[in-house]
Structure 1
Amino acid sequence: MFENNLWTMEPVGRPENTIQGDKYRFTLLTPCLIRMEYREDGKFEDRPTQVVWNRKFDPVDFRVEKKGEGFELFTSRMHVTYAGGPFTKNSLNLNAVGGQNAFGAVWYYGEKGDNLGGTARTLDGVDGECQLQEGIMSRSGCSQIDDSHSLVLDENGWTQVRTGDGVDIYVFAYGNDYKEALNDFYRLTGKTPMLPRYALGNWWSRYYAYTEDSYKALVTRFEKEKIPFSVGVLDMDWHLVEEVDPKYGSGWTGYTWNKKYYPDPERFMNWLHDHGMKISVNLHPAGGIRAFEEAYPAMAKELGDVDTEHEAPIDFDITSRKFLEAYFKCVLHPEENKGVDFWWIDWQQGNITKVPGLDPLWMLNHYHYLDNARDGKRPLTFSRYAGPGSHRYPVGFSGDSIVTWESLNFQPYFTSTASNIGYGWWSHDIGGHMFGYRDNELALRWVQLGVFSPINRLHSSKNEFMGKEPWQFPMEIGEVMKEFLRLRHQMLPYLYTMNHRAYKENTPLILPMYYTYPAEQVAYTVKNEYEYGTAFIVAPVTEKSVQGVGRARTHVWLPEGTYIDFFTGLVYSGDREMDMYRDLHSIPVLAKAGAIVPMTEEIFGQEADRNPETMTIRVYGGADGSFQLYEDDNESNAYLKDECVLTDMDLKWSTGRFVIQKAAGRLELIPQKRTWTVEFWGVKDTEVTVEVEGTVVEASKEYDEALGCLKVSVPEASVTSEIIITLGIPALRENDVKAQVFNLLNQAEIPYMEKVAIMEILDKKISNAAKLTQLTAMHPEEGIVGAVGEILTAIE
């Protein structure tokens, strides 16, 4: 039990990379990453810890010059000076050189640099911002992880307390090479494993006393409304709560189904499975196993030393391996046999145990994840963050945030910044959990953020007025919510490929803008803007719509290049900052020219678990591009052995040639034939030629003038066929400025004659700058000039 077949552990560093004295040891891991240890007893640690699992990196070229009791150490990327003796800021420092950090960052032991932040344990009760723990990225070029106090893992995978005192730190001297630093962080601490495919769909969650009938009615309504969900989360009212006799303590902890609500739990969960939903069930385990629990007799028998005559409670002792093994065997596994797919570990009882320094949350995450992987299953847990290394146990539950615009405004930054400590799979309470106020636009904007988040889990508290069902909102709001929830499932082929990229290439789905553009000052200021996989830049709407304009304003920075709006098809030129204005139907999602995005229309029922037969490929014009679609069995750990199917797609923009290559790999994992629809976005209408295996075939073609979208439908073909689509004259569309401004003004709540006057200015044969000057002089309602200006100057 608890065998680790998911990660490689090579905890002993290379002797040839080591500089060691009686009381110190320095181990080079890369030219930029060094481990520094100091112990008075000279007994250094070579076992894996809760954080660090691998220290056997590649050999590093270095030079050492002895200096008295210390030395100077040189690699191609750093210069370490150590004067000997205990580590102090006077005795130990490091200069980072080379790479993208030519300015030469300096680090002194014990001092913190300009850290870009990491993440936080929880957003419980947060209304707006909270303090973030540190990550490994720093604008000053150097940062550290202090691993001095984490527990070690023995040869059996169990935790042990370190003996004695000492210093054990890792210094990252990568300058602004953030992607390189993150890659080596994962090498040091272990990879982020792949999620099962269903986890990337929509999750329904609510703290609410559902019954079997009411939950079935809810799911049936979702199906009727064509709103896809792939995960159903049951909060604590699945088990006995109010019914618990006070003599047993609180009903907060519980493991026994409330039969008034769920007379036959297995029947209920089978029904959910039949309707395409996996099931996660909430645990607050701190209260232990009390005598009223159905699992109590089995636990008592397994442990053998329980006073059952007096109904002695079985304490939850995470430090006892005997208890932990009995807990999984007698309490959790029987419920999994009934249908629970994974557990929501809702630990809220602090970080104190019998073992000094042992955080029970870390132990729960670690052993739950290993246990969920038994029998070759791809594991999943849902729990809170427990410090560096927590990325090994996805998915993260960020806690009970307050329902306010301030909370929404913090979450994009919070999510992307977590990548600085490798934590890429946050799940927020989309819509907010509790308190706050009703604001229909806020609810919608939060759902839109959720769709472009790592995990999209709608959630709320028991308050009867706080339901997140789309039909609880005014028609326009509710319909847009439905559209976005469908969009999430349409994007599953893209998201699943990014899921594999996160594992294989050590690159989270969401990255702050400064990862790709570290030398651009503005990349550090657009805190709510992020890269969303290989294709998109996203800047969620986190403020109310501007009065009178009917659109919300979002400040966006576009790096150099050409971009095409995912929703409107508008083409933008980059290398500038600008305000973007969006109505309720969209947020700024900008596809990079040349981006290729695989999608599907198979989004209901069991489809979140399957590789689709029909694919819609979005191709964004303006530059060359490529994409490798990744597919596997979606549920096992075979991905660790690269047992998968890869389909390469390439766009050569200058010739208008788009190629879907033959699928390669374990072809039995995907449909043998597929129907492809290829949408070219941001392009002019043109003739199209389609070839399948070198033979020209008939294919239907449609062009949407308003979106600049050329849709080509390819007849069903074998997945081992090469498909080539050639555009006659490849060219980017010209934005229909007049039509776009008319649509804006048509919805704007300003005087009618002012709208006419604005359109007259647009018709004038003068420069855009002159038009904006005249618009400003008219003093229209706040935001109108900005919204019109965005459209006028989208291409500069």
Structure 2
Amino acid sequence: MKKMFSWLPLAICLGMPLTTRAQYQPLAAAKAIVQPEKQVRFTVLADGMVRMEWDSLGHFTDQASFVVVNRKLPVPAYTQQLQGEWYTIHTPLLTLRYKKGSGRFNADNLEVTYEQEGRRLQWRPGTPQLQNLKGTYRTLDRYDGNLLDGKTPMQLEDGILARDGWTLIDDSRSFLFDNAAFPWVDTTARHSGQDWYLLMYGHHYKTALQNYAAIGGKVPLPPRYAFGYWWSRYWRYSDVELRQLVDNFHRYNIPLDVLVIDMDWHQQGWTGWTWDNSLFTSPERFLEWTNQQHLKTTLNLHPADGVGPQERQYASFAKANNFDTAGHHAIPYMGSNKRFMQTLFDTILRPYEKQGVDFWWLDWQQWPDDPQVHGLDNTWWLNYVFFTEKEKYGQRRPLLYHRWGGLGNHRYQTGFSGDATISWRSLAFQPYFTSTASNVLYDYWSHDIGGHNMPEGFKSLDPELYTRWMQYGALSPIFRTHSTKSALLNKEIWNFSGAYFNAIYNAIRLRYTLAPYIYTMARQTYDSALAICRPLYYEHPDDDSAYHFTSEYYFGDDMLVAPIGKPADNGVSKETVWLPAGNDWYEWHTGTLLHGGQTMARQFSIDEYPLYVKAGAIIPMNRDTVKQLDGQTAAIQLGIFPGAAGKGRLYEDDGDDQHYASQYAVTNYTTGMATGGALKLQIQPVKGHFAGMRTIRDYKLCFYGQAMPEAVVVAGKRLPYASTGNGARWYYNGQQLCVEVYLPGVNALQGQTVSLLPGNTPAPDINGLPEKMKRLYQASEALKYTNAYVVIPYQLAQMEELPQALSYYPGRYAQLINDFNRGYAQLDAILEKAGGISANEKAAFLQAAGK
């Protein structure tokens, strides 16, 4: 057997950081391999995962493949024996039996049995898989929802998971990598005749994903800035226009991290490598400016036409490739040619990166296979080459924005889903499409938020549709707006007004508020192969509702989203929401704690969204002053949600280096009830370290849905109650019914303990009160605009003032809320006292107030 290469020694000798690629070792541990006869080899990879190879010549593959890059895993406990005519391998979960000397694997000579928690499965070659939970699809181009051109349903690829409880990955025909310093497709190597990976997991879906990630490679952690807001538009932008655009972002106080420049950055045609100097007089100065603005910049590439004679780099490119330029012909694209690709990076791409281009948008839309290597998928291969080049030679963390190429492409991160139709159907489909992609570890879809292609008869952008799309986008993996080149598609927030402007603005702000939580969950994706947006059945595999509510998804460990995908009815969006059993759920935008284990009809105004937080969860957040994610934040906000004792964690690293595998820090948080009924929050000392880590930071603690405490105690001292100030203090936010505690200068190495002492009187009922207060205020405001001379009853005016009154008069907390609740129950009678109000106005008021 020829000597095969190992990724780890290769990575070390090249001086590479020990991140994603450096883990991959395709040669399995010798103790994991069972070779009962020359033509057969089994590799025990995990308790529920085994590799099975048969080859007539006894030729077995130890090279990395496009699908499987790592086989050197901890060897699970197993036994092997020959029982009569059958070779048998036992792990704690599997029993594999192969009939001695029987040749090629078939249903008569090979069987694998799985047993766990009373469930027994049996698999043989040829066993049909009936309930695959699907994976993803290359693109949403021309799709209206799941219908191509409004007619043909999308056929999602199969994924790693199935309700059958097992999955077979046939790796017999995928390409292999060679052992070069920059591993390349090996056109001479071959797989074993049969090269299979069997994963058996029952309903332990998370285990199956982790097992595939162990052999297929981890999902790399994107740089932190990738989780901010991306501005993108297919538009012939100039340097001046982009500067004006960014000035408006600043003027309206809108956060922004990534500036996406579509194909018009270069000269005419789909493929181009030279800046259009009629738009960008000095690209170097333009990119210098984007860096000064702390904006990351990506440019669109369509490499298919090669390098034409009109390109500034044509002569140097031709010389490096010994191309005859006499006929002034284009140098054809040759993705599988290492010299061609090396020249592309050396003469074109890396010089642009030095000028300030941070990453590339690789938008391959042309022919499927490489012109020189039959069957080599251009999309898959380009993704690999671009990402690995950045990983190998770049100074910062690799990021690539590209189309899905197939299984194994999860190692190259962020997906561009393409040109979906602008419609409610498209919006309704994307949550399912996004979370289901996690079944092939493709966890970072980036959609054209708001849609791309205009349907027939399109006249203007529906502000409600765009607002709901933005709210979903803020709770999706990558938050990027985009659209086709049309003057009708102006998605800048300042083009909207009133409630739509406020809701879109709040969606962007919510994204930045949740960025520490999102980044913490992204680290979990790297560690445990669990996507930020994941299907419900990961957590509830034995509940049929988890498979029925296909649009709902978990957003990390502690949040559930039931996205709105249809227009409102009389200004109210009505959604049927399934809240899983096992814990209660806090409906954040309405301040309502709801019991788990039920399906409910809920209603939402345009500024509300069905976002549910697990009772007791502690969510790390940013303060509302954060506008970009490229630096370490000094201030952390913790959202402590009601309903149970809970926990949370904050993950941090440099944010953009390649050393995150080992250089990072984690802070854990817990809550519980102390003696005497006090609610106690513990900020644990930070664990770990990375360059630039903050050891002193400010905290703002937000105890949502929490009654007014008697006092807040830190380090044995009662904090003062104050709405403003620089020192440690606390305050009651009457709008959100939230106890806010401000702790400046907390030593992260030591941690801190905070206790909320309960009041002496019984706490009033505040569940759902934020929603009631808001609706009452909106109803009163609408009435005043309808009838400016209406005389508002004194009791109703007092009820409108409740949010501020709670903040002003903490000693009257219970009385104020009890008065409001009584008044809300008697709202009809109170309105009878209003002067100059008509019956229609009264009815409209009660409806708006939720009565």
Give TM-score scaled by structure 1 length: 0.88
Alpha-carbon deviation of 1:586?
Answer: 1.8
Task: Give the aligned partner of residue 734 of structure 1.
Answer: 765
Correspondence 1:158 to 2:176: no
Partner Cα distance (1:570, 1:363) in 2:
49
Residues 157-556 of structure 1 correspond to what in structure 2 (within 5 A)?
A: 157-161=183-187, 162-163=189-190, 166-241=193-268, 251-303=269-321, 305-353=322-370, 354-373=372-391, 374-436=393-455, 437=458, 438-546=461-569, 548=570, 550-556=572-578
> Match for 1:586 among 604, 608, 612?
608
Secondary structure in 2 matching 1:104: strand
Moved more, 577-586 or 620-629: 620-629
Alignment deviations for residues 261-284 of structure 1 (CA, whole Å, 9 cap, x no partner): 111111111111211210010000
Cα gap change, 1:293 to 1:69, in 2 (>3 Å):
farther
**Partner SS, residue 407 of structure 1:** helix
Q: 1:32 to 1:672 in 2, by over 3 A?
A: closer
CA distance in 1, matches of 2:412, 2:450: 24
1:733 and 1:275 mapped to 2: Cα distance? 49
- 2:635 counterpart residue number: 614
Question: Could you tell me how far 1:163 is from its partner in structure 2?
Answer: 3.2
Comparing 741-750 and 508-517, the one that deviates more:
741-750
8 Å CA contact 2:438, 2:531 repeated in 1: yes
Q: 1:127 aligns with which of 144, 161, 166?
A: 144
Assess if the C-alpha contact under 8 Å between 1:105 and 1:141 holds in 2.
Answer: no
Aligned pair in 2 of structure 1 residues 209, 732: CA closer, same or farther (>3 Å)? farther
Query: Hey, what's the Cα distance between the residues in 1 that align with 2:274 and 2:447?
Result: 27
SS at structure 1 position matched to 2:144: coil
Change (3 A) 1:391 1:734: farther
After superposition, give the CA deviation of every residue in 1:558-582 in whole Å (9 maximum; x if it has no partner): 3231221222221111111112211
**Mapped pair 1:148 → 2:172:** yes
| Alignment: residue pair count | 751
**Aligned residue type for 1:702:** Y
Q: Which residue number in structure 1 is paired with residue 39 of structure 2?
A: 23
Q: CA shift at 1:24, angstroms?
A: 2.7
Q: How far, CA to CA, are the matches of 2:763 and 2:93 in structure 1?
A: 43
User: C-alpha separation between the residues in 2 aligned to 1:526 and 1:186?
Assistant: 26
1:557 aligns with 2:579: yes
Counterparts in 2 of 1:739 and 1:212: CA distance versus 1, 3 Å: closer
1:232, distance to aligned residue in structure 2 (A):
0.5
1:58 and 2:74 correspond: yes
Task: Give the distance between the partners of 1:417 and 1:291, measured in 2 at CA.
Answer: 44
Aligned to 1:623: 644
Q: Is the 8 A contact 1:599 1:615 kept in 2?
A: yes
Could you tell me whether the CA contact under 8 Å between 2:711 and 2:719 is conserved in 1? no
Please report how far the alpha carbon of residue 429 of structure 1 lies from its aligned counterpart in structure 2 after TM superposition: 1.0
Q: Tell me if structure 2 keeps the 8 A contact 1:571–1:733.
A: no
Give yes or no for contact 2:706–2:739 (8 Å, CA) kept in 1. yes
Distance 1:169 1:178 in 2: 20
Instruction: Classify 1:679/1:747 alpha carbon distance in 2 versus 1 (closer, same or farther; 3 Å).
Output: closer
Q: 1:769 is matched with which residue? A: none
Q: 1:68 to 1:286 in 2, by over 3 A?
A: farther
Deviation at 1:340, TM superposition (A): 0.5
Displacement after TM superposition at 1:716 (Å)? 3.5
> Following the alignment from structure 2 to structure 1, what is the Cα–Cα distance between the partners of residues 107 and 485?
52
1:9 aligns with 2:9: no
**Counterpart in 2 of 1:648?**
668
Aligned partners of 1:564 and 1:681 also within 8 Å: no
2:657 aligns with one of 632, 636, 646: 636
Output the amino acid matched with 2:161.
M
- For 2:696 and 2:90, the matched residues in 1 are separated by 57
Moved more, 451-460 or 126-135: 126-135
Matched residue, 2:95: 79
Cα deviation for residue 520 of structure 1 reads 1.6
1:138 is aligned to 162
Output the CA distance in 1 between the equivalents of 2:260 and 2:134. Answer: 31
What TM-score comes out, normalization by structure 2 length?
0.83
Alignment check: 8 A CA contact 1:96 1:141 kept: no
2:65 corresponds to: 49
Q: 1:558, 1:110 → 2: CA distance?
A: 33
Kept after mapping to 2: 8 A contact 1:595/1:626? yes
User: Which SS does the other structure have where 1:556 is aligned?
Assistant: strand
Select which of 576, 579, 582 maps to 2:598.
576
Give me the whole-angstrom Cα distance separating, in 1, the residues matched to 2:83 and 2:332: 56
Bigger shift: 471-480 or 440-449? 471-480
1:657 maps to what in 2? 680
SS of 2:585's equivalent? strand
2:335–2:382 Cα contact (<8 Å) kept: yes
* Closer, same or farther: CA 42–69 of 1 in aligned 2, 3 Å: farther
**Separation of aligned partners in 1, 2:79 and 2:692:** 51
Q: For 2:86 and 2:547, how far apart are their aligned partners in 1?
A: 38
Q: Is the Cα contact below 8 Å between 1:526 and 1:557 reproduced in 2?
A: no
Give per-residue Cα distances to partners, 1:438-466, cap 9 Å, x unaligned: 32211111111111011101111101111
Which deviations, in whole Å up to 9, do the C-alpha atoms of 1:85-141 show, x marking residues without a partner?
A: 323344444332114x71535454362231111111111111112221111111111
Output the CA distance in 1 between the equivalents of 2:768 and 2:389: 58
8 A contact 2:622–2:637 mirrored in 1: yes
Instruction: State the distance in 2 between where 1:173 and 1:86 align.
Output: 21
- Which of 131, 138, 153 aligns to 1:114? It is 131
Tell me: CA distance 1:741–1:517, structure 2 relative to 1, closer, same or farther (3 Å). Answer: same
CA contact (8 A) 1:205 1:459 kept: yes
Residue 771 of structure 2 corresponds to residue 723 of structure 1? no
- Contact 1:53/1:189 (8 A) holds in 2: yes
SS in 1 for 2:280: coil
Alignment match, 1:104? 121
Q: Aligned partners of 1:167 and 1:666: how far apart in 2?
A: 46
The amino acid of 2:637's aligned partner reads: T
Q: Which amino acid aligns with 1:336?
A: E
SS in 1 for 2:433: helix
- SS across alignment from 1:580: strand
The worse-fitting range, judged by mean Cα deviation, of 256-265 and 565-574 is 565-574
Q: For 1:645, give the aligned amino acid.
A: A
> What does residue 244 of structure 1 align with?
none
User: Contact (CA 8 Å) 1:622, 1:653: kept in 2 or not?
Assistant: no
- Structure 1, unmatched stretches of 5+, are 242-250, 765-780
Which is worse superposed, 650-659 or 335-344?
650-659
Quickly say closer, same or farther: Cα 1:644–1:716, change in 2 above 3 A: same
| Partner secondary structure for residue 660 of structure 2 | helix
- Identify if the C-alpha distance between structure 1 residues 558 and 127 changes in structure 2 by more than 3 Å, giving closer, same or farther: same
* Counterpart-to-counterpart distance in 2, 1:411 and 1:713: 39
Report the 3-state secondary structure (helix = DSSP H, G, I; strand = E; otherwise coil) of the residue aligned with 1:97: strand
Relative to structure 1, is the Cα distance of residues 747 and 104 closer, same or farther in structure 2, using a 3 angstrom cutoff? farther
The 8 Å contact of residues 428 and 565 in structure 2, kept in 1 or not, is answered as yes
Higher mean C-alpha displacement, 90-99 vs 443-452: 90-99
Contact preservation (8 Å) 1:621, 1:653: no
Pair member with larger Rg? 2
Q: Distance in 1 between matches of 2:516 and 2:772?
A: 34
Amino acid at match of 1:94: V
Offset at residue 721 of structure 1 (A): 4.6
Shift of residue 195, structure 1, vs aligned partner? 1.1
Does the CA-based 8 Å contact 1:13-1:27 persist in structure 2? yes
Q: Is the 8 A contact 1:601 1:614 kept in 2?
A: yes
